[in-house]
Structure 1
Amino acid sequence: MNIKDLELFITVAKLGSFSKAAKALEMRRALVSRRIADLEIQLGAPLFTRTTRVMALTDSGKRYLAQITPLVSQLNHAGDVFKHRHDNVQGKLRIGLQPFVDKLIDKHIANFVHNYPQVQLEVFIVPGQHQDIKRLNLDCMINAGEVSKGNISKQKLMTFERKMYASSLYLEKSSVIETIDDLHYHSLLGYRNAEGVLEHHWHFQHTNVTANYKIICSDYNSLYHFCLGGAGITLLPQIIAIDAVENQQLINVLPELSAGFTDINIFSPKDAALSGVAKVFIEHLCEMVN
């Protein structure tokens, strides 16, 4: 059981709201809700009662809160003993981030800088090609999908699912979408990956669509903003669309369909040993994200 989840539970219990806890911790509300639900599954009991107006601790939740609050406090104080070791981690670190990936982990990078004040960090926004590592002398690069060439090591950081989205503005002015075949009458926005490969077909669980694009982009940030502006329908990582969906700016079109899952990986040169700073950075990211 992760101490971060216990700290999250304590914060939700204190503030009495997923939304307030999410705001206080600078997290997405949906992520807060999911992690609390996962904790309840692990414990085998509900911690909160949820209604449309009120959220309160259950009896089990009250007992659990009373038990873990002093324990979490003790664990945090115990960790203070080792904080001076962070000062021993020092040096320069050069990392590359693919567009849109930076927005997923920027808070974790900021936390790393705070915890390791002797590290000088230089960040490059890169397309995500294997040449970027050598060209910019990067310690590591974080991007979605694979790096097809080069002597590169890979470590999985997280996974995201892609689904179809359109803005409410676009859908109000367009024909109704009831089946996958209706997409042929709509403006589609396409993605070309870092290796230059265009996604000619949208593959779903039991079918696929040949896509004739109005706009083609090489990064998800651009797709997101074009979609948000009403340019058409596109496939987006659910993790970057979730806030706009909650705010009803984007609509998940045919939500039963999924275009599959993609990993976000940390890549580093295989022919060169990772520096101590790079190792600590990668360990930090993996711990924070998971």
Structure 2
Amino acid sequence: MNIKDLELFITVAKLGSFSKAAKSLDTRRAHVSRRIAELEQQLGAPLFTRTTRVMALTTSGKRYLAQITPLVSQLNHAGEVFKHRHDDIQGKLRIGLQPFVDKLMDKHIAHFVHAYPQVQLEVFIVPGQHQDIKRLHLDCMINAGEVSKGNIAKQKLMTFERKMYASSVYLEKSSVIETIDDLHYHSLLGFRDTEGTLEHQWRFQQTNVSANYKVICSDYNSLYHFCLGGAGITLLPQVIALDAVENQQLINVLPELSAGFTDINILTPNDTSLSPVAKAFVEHLTDTISINGTANHSD
């Protein structure tokens, strides 16, 4: 249980709706619903009664709301005492983001910019190779996947899971997919990583599938848009497909199958000391993301 969950509960109670709370907090309804359910499980009592039309606080929920509202307010006020130290951090920060990783980091980076008003941030979208750090004189870089050997320090930020997706448009025009063997009769879209490696096989928990690709992309953004446009079936990070799945634009094909998990890391030069600005940025991301959870759970 953390203060973010308590703030979320207070917002839902105030607005009387998961959807309204999600819109207010710029997140997804599924995330709000899951966090409240987990909070109820931790407390051992329901906080809301839910019907198709009405959602209201239970008696326990009303008591809990009355107890935690002043406490959350006091905790937030106490945090303001330390805000002045952020004003001492000033200067320029150059960071690199791998395509699609920017979509995962945008809110965290925006929060950093707000918290450190004296920092000027310059962002580069880079392929994801660690050599870009020195080539572009970056303070740090955030990338997904393996990091080739180099004088680089890395810290894990989050993890995402890859699954199979196709657009509803594509599936309406194609043959039915009931088993993994049916993929041989479909158009597959492939991914080539920053090291130039192409996945010749899709590896799942119990089996592998040889892939004969119709389209090959070197970044997930392009892969996502080709899939959304109806070009075929592909493996995508679950986190960037969630919105389209919610809107029924993308379908999770054979949802019981997973192509495994990949880490997102923040990379920094190992041969130079970090500036105070870079240290503050790395600490900000590692602290806030560890609180908010992994990418595959951040609806």
TM superposition score normalised by structure 1: 0.96
Counterpart for residue 46 of structure 2 = 46
Could you tell me which amino acid in structure 2 is paired with residue 209 of structure 1? V
Q: Distance in 2 between matches of 1:227 and 1:50?
A: 36
Q: Distance in 2 between matches of 1:52 and 1:268?
A: 50
**1:112-127 aligned within 5 A:** 112-127=112-127
**What is the CA RMSD across the aligned residues, in angstroms?**
1.3
**1:14-53 aligned within 5 A:** 14-53=14-53
Paired-residue identity, %: 86
Structure 2: 5+ residue runs without aligned partners?
292-299
**1:132-171 aligned within 5 A:** 132-171=132-171
Q: Deviations over 1:68-118 (max 9, x none)?
A: 110000111111222222110111111100000101111111111111110
Per the TM alignment, residue 277 of structure 1 is displaced from its structure 2 partner at its CA by: 1.1
Q: Distance in 2 between matches of 1:283 and 1:41?
A: 31
Q: Deviations over 1:121-144 (max 9, x none)?
A: 010000100101111111111111
Q: Deviations over 1:223-258 (max 9, x none)?
A: 110000000000011111011101000000001111
Counterpart for residue 250 of structure 1 = 250
Q: Distance in 2 between matches of 1:236 and 1:248?
A: 16
Counterpart for residue 192 of structure 1 = 192
Per the TM alignment, residue 287 of structure 1 is displaced from its structure 2 partner at its CA by: 2.7
Could you tell me which amino acid in structure 2 is paired with residue 8 of structure 1? L
Could you tell me which amino acid in structure 1 is paired with residue 32 of structure 2? V
Q: Distance in 1 between matches of 2:272 and 2:48?
A: 50
**1:88-127 aligned within 5 A:** 88-127=88-127
Which SS does the other structure have where 2:49 is aligned? Answer: strand
Which SS does the other structure have where 1:121 is aligned? Answer: strand
Could you tell me which amino acid in structure 1 is paired with residue 55 of structure 2? M
Counterpart for residue 83 of structure 2 = 83
Q: Distance in 2 between matches of 1:52 and 1:274?
A: 53
Per the TM alignment, residue 65 of structure 1 is displaced from its structure 2 partner at its CA by: 1.3
Counterpart for residue 296 of structure 2 = none
Could you tell me which amino acid in structure 2 is paired with residue 14 of structure 1? K
Per the TM alignment, residue 58 of structure 1 is displaced from its structure 2 partner at its CA by: 2.7
Counterpart for residue 66 of structure 1 = 66
Deviates further, 193-202 or 18-27: 18-27
Per the TM alignment, residue 64 of structure 1 is displaced from its structure 2 partner at its CA by: 1.6
Q: Deviations over 1:11-60 (max 9, x none)?
A: 11211222211111111222222322332333233323334333332332
Q: Distance in 1 between matches of 2:246 and 2:264?
A: 23
Q: Distance in 2 between matches of 1:41 and 1:135?
A: 50
Which SS does the other structure have where 1:263 is aligned? Answer: strand
Counterpart for residue 286 of structure 2 = 286
Q: Distance in 1 between matches of 2:204 and 2:46?
A: 35
- Number of aligned pairs? 290
Per the TM alignment, residue 213 of structure 1 is displaced from its structure 2 partner at its CA by: 0.4
Per the TM alignment, residue 154 of structure 1 is displaced from its structure 2 partner at its CA by: 1.0
**1:173-212 aligned within 5 A:** 173-212=173-212
Per the TM alignment, residue 260 of structure 1 is displaced from its structure 2 partner at its CA by: 0.8
Counterpart for residue 8 of structure 1 = 8
Q: Distance in 2 between matches of 1:220 and 1:29?
A: 25
Structure 1: 5+ residue runs without aligned partners?
none
Which SS does the other structure have where 2:147 is aligned? Answer: coil
Which SS does the other structure have where 1:106 is aligned? Answer: helix
Could you tell me which amino acid in structure 2 is paired with residue 155 of structure 1? Q
Counterpart for residue 264 of structure 1 = 264
Deviates further, 156-165 or 58-67: 58-67
Could you tell me which amino acid in structure 1 is paired with residue 62 of structure 2? K
Deviates further, 53-62 or 166-175: 53-62
Q: Distance in 2 between matches of 1:197 and 1:20?
A: 44
Could you tell me which amino acid in structure 2 is paired with residue 198 of structure 1? L
Which SS does the other structure have where 1:236 is aligned? Answer: strand
Q: Distance in 1 between matches of 2:187 and 2:21?
A: 38
Q: CA 1:272–1:40 in 2, change beyond 3 Å: closer, same or farther?
A: farther
